[in-house]
Structure 1
Amino acid sequence: MRNALDPRPRPTTAALAAASLVLGFAVAEATGVRAAGGVVLLVGGGLAAVRWWRRSGPVTAVGLTAVYLGAFAGSHVLARGVGAWPAVATAAAVAGGAAYVASDRRPPRPGAVAAVRTDRVGTR
């Protein structure tokens, strides 16, 4: 849900999931430290999972997290045949596409947690 007090658009979870896979690999490649790329994956995947949970519920969040992790793992197998970057692009497309279909394009579930910060309403 959008915050009524903050008009800035939020990136979709599809973009968040796909970008974190691509950026995680890019960081690991650029630094030579796989753990640094893993931190990017962990943060991006964690943020996406929280938003999936709030918007679409626990079942969708767990399912999309499994797709995200499966795409990450699958990219390692796929890279043997097509190369690293095409495998990462495919994984990002799979994770992003699944997030769009299962969460982003649907209306928020009833009772979804709003992103409104009520602790600052009416205060200076």
Structure 2
Amino acid sequence: MTRVPAAVTAAVGLVGGYSVARVTKKRPLGGVALGVAGVVAARQWAGKVGSGKAAALTGLYLAGFAGSHPLAKKVGAWPSVLGVTGVVAGASWAVERTAAKG
């Protein structure tokens, strides 16, 4: 069985959370999607890179979510969501890759 990388889980959470909120017009549902994926990603990170780095990546995930709101006022909603998703997923990939090398 192939495991989904935490970077993908985090990306799905950020893009999926926004998408759910936008499509349903119910922001709390988007928050649920964002939160569930965030918890799953945090658990994945903790198992792969340890609790300290997992906390940092979880903080980045939350900062990406929060930061996408003011950024959206400058560049638009989708560019903002995709931009912060790229940063979070890229950081996750880099940290996981470094940890895997030992």
Q: Same fold (TM over 0.5)?
A: yes
Q: Who is 1:107 aligned against?
A: 100
Of residues 16, 19, 27, the one that matches 1:26 is 19
What does the per-residue CA deviation read over 1:65-92, in whole Å, with 9 as the maximum and x for residues that have no partner? 0100011111001000110000000011
Flag the structure with more relative contact order, 1 or 2, with Cα contacts below 8 A and sequence separation at least 6: 1
CA 10–68 in structure 1, closer or farther in 2 if over 3 Å, else same: same
| Identity percentage of aligned residues | 41
Which runs of at least 4 in structure 1 moved beyond 3 Å after TM superposition? none
The aligned amino acid for 1:55 is K
SS in 2 for 1:10: coil
Segments of 5+ residues of structure 2 without an aligned counterpart are none
Aligned to 2:38: 45
More helix by share: 2
Residue number among 87, 90, 94 corresponding to 2:83 in the alignment: 90
2:48–2:99 Cα contact (<8 Å) kept: no
Structure 1's unaligned 5+ residue stretches are 1-7, 110-124
Choose the corresponding residue for 2:71, options 68, 72, 78: 78
**Could you tell me how far apart the structure 2 residues matched to 1:54 and 1:93 are?**
22
Instruction: Report the alpha carbon displacement of residue 106 of structure 1 after superposing the two structures with TM.
Output: 3.0
SS of corresponding position for 2:99: coil
Report which of the two structures shows the higher radius of gyration computed on alpha carbons. 1
* CA distance in 2: counterparts of 1:11 and 1:92, whole angstroms: 16
- The answer to whether the aligner puts 1:16 opposite 2:22 as a matched pair is no
Superimposed CA distance per residue, residues 84-103 of structure 1 (whole angstroms, 9 cap, x where no aligned partner): 00000001101101110112
The offset of 1:55, in angstroms, is 1.1
Find the residue that maps to 2:3 and give its secondary structure: coil
